[in-house]
Amino acid sequence: MSLSLRPIAEKEWSAWITLDEEAFGNAIPPHRAELFRRNAEFDRSLGAFEGDLLVGVTSVCSFTMTVPGGPIPVGGVTSVGVLPSHRRRGILSTLMTRQLTDLHERGEAVAALYASEAAIYGRFGYGRAADNLFFNITKRGPALARHAPTDPALRLRIVAPTEARAVFEKVFEAVLDSRPGLYARTPARWDAVLSDHEVDQGGAGPLRAVVVEDDGGPRGYALFRIKPNFTQHDVPDGELRLKELFGLDPAAYALLWRHVLERDLVTRVSAWQRPVDDPLIHLLAEPRQLNAGWLDDLWIRLVDVERALPARRYSAPVDVAIEVEDAVCPWNARRWRLTADASGARCVPTEDPADLTLPVTVLGAAYLGGRPLAALQAAGVVHESRAGAVRELSVAMSWEPAPWAGLIF
């Protein structure tokens, strides 16, 4: 099989959509395909062609993403797929390897993705850097605990989502730098968030919104849908499906959740893609009603270790020599000395003896500050040569709040 690799032209958009539908086994409605096209960066796509046939694809979205200490450029890898007729021929490996080389040559030190299958991307150096929770909350008795914060200056306002977009954008911009993993949203991505076609509704009705505000302006918002239902005895049994909820302070956050949890005729609230340190865990009157589950969120790849490690801040001083194993990006596979203090960080090649040895996946997993290294050491993934080196690096790379992207790209 002879393959050629090149960016996908806009005139080949239908072939790209067809490949995605075959690779992921779904049908993409026309309006979603259009939203996808508006978010696509054709010059950053990479197609594998067998003659004129598109048989594999991957693409990158140019993001500004928050990491510990502030925002940096990040390549958001998406739309990775191979035609089912062409699997197990090395096409995916060829695409992913070439893409990492392109990212490196472009000067992007960090890549991020959401994994359709968690087993795939570790072999390309991506580490599971963030997790998320999903809640299936049952309503019984008071929703929030007595200690839940309140502010008499706050008020709720029901709004039409399409008319309050500027409010949502203002709130989101205010929280953007507060949590590693959040990324700036383009107008096209906001279009996708607020899309309200019938297929978006999933039988749960139109998108609804509530804003919390005071005399100074908006302090938070929630986006949700409500699927009404009644039992055979005409008892209300509706479900509220939360899409997004952001608050700028504890009282605003609690008031939004109180509204969501106390909507009339609703007995269940489902919420996906919530951070693992969601304050709601500590606000519910009965925490067991969360019925929480745990999933992977962002996967991070350090494309250039030398530039990626100094691009973030560290929670404690650190001085370690790290032997990095990286079979895909050979420019990373060597020994590095990472030093950091309150004034900043530095990562340089060194010939000093290694304090610890680890695969590049581990650095990706720890990069956003939410993955302690002790468990990876216990799993035999990290090897320590100097006693205490793993703990030193783990403490330095830790960060609060926990990483979370909040929106799949």
Q: Which two three-digit tokens encode residue 107? A: 């000067």
Is residue 371 marked as binding? no
Residue 152 sits at the vertex; the CA angle it makes with 151 and 157, to the nearest 5 degrees, is 95
| Secondary structure letter of residue 156 according to DSSP | E
Structure tokens at 182: 């959040």
The reply to whether 409 belongs to the active site is: yes
**Residue 221 among the catalytic residues:** no
Residue 92 among known ligand-binding residues: yes
Q: Is 25 labeled as ligand-binding?
A: no
Single-letter amino acid, residue 145: A
Closest residue by Cα to residue 71 from 181, 189, 168: 181
Residue 89 among known ligand-binding residues: yes
Q: Give the helix, strand, coil percentages of the chain, each rounded to 5.
A: 30, 35, 35
Rounded to a whole number, what is the largest CA-CA distance in the chain?
A: 76
Give the three-state DSSP class for 307: helix
Contact 326, 127 (CB under 8 A): no
- What's the length of the chain? 409
For residues 290 and 140, the answer to whether their CB atoms sit within 8 Å is: no
Query: Residues 121, 135, 168, 246: which is the catalytic one?
Result: 121
What tokens does 89 get? 């021929």
**Known binder of ligand: residue 91?**
yes
82 is in an annotated binding site: yes
Query: H or E segment at 171?
Result: helix 165-175
Which member of 168, 221, 224, 409 is catalytic?
409
Q: Residue 40 in contact with residue 59, Cβ under 8 Å?
A: yes
Dist. CA 221–CA 203, nearest whole Å:
23
Distance CA 157, CA 300 (A): 38
Residue 275 tokens read as 């951070």
Return the bridge partners of 183, or none. 65
The Cα angle at residue 309 between residues 303 and 311, in degrees rounded to 5: 100
Residue 117, annotated as binding a ligand: yes
| Residue 270 among known ligand-binding residues | no
Residue 355, amino acid: D
To the question of whether residue 116 is assigned a binding role by annotation, the answer is: yes
Please identify every residue annotated as catalytic.
121, 409
Binding residue numbers for acetyl-CoA: 80-82, 88-93, 116-117
Binding residue numbers: 80-82, 88-93, 116-117
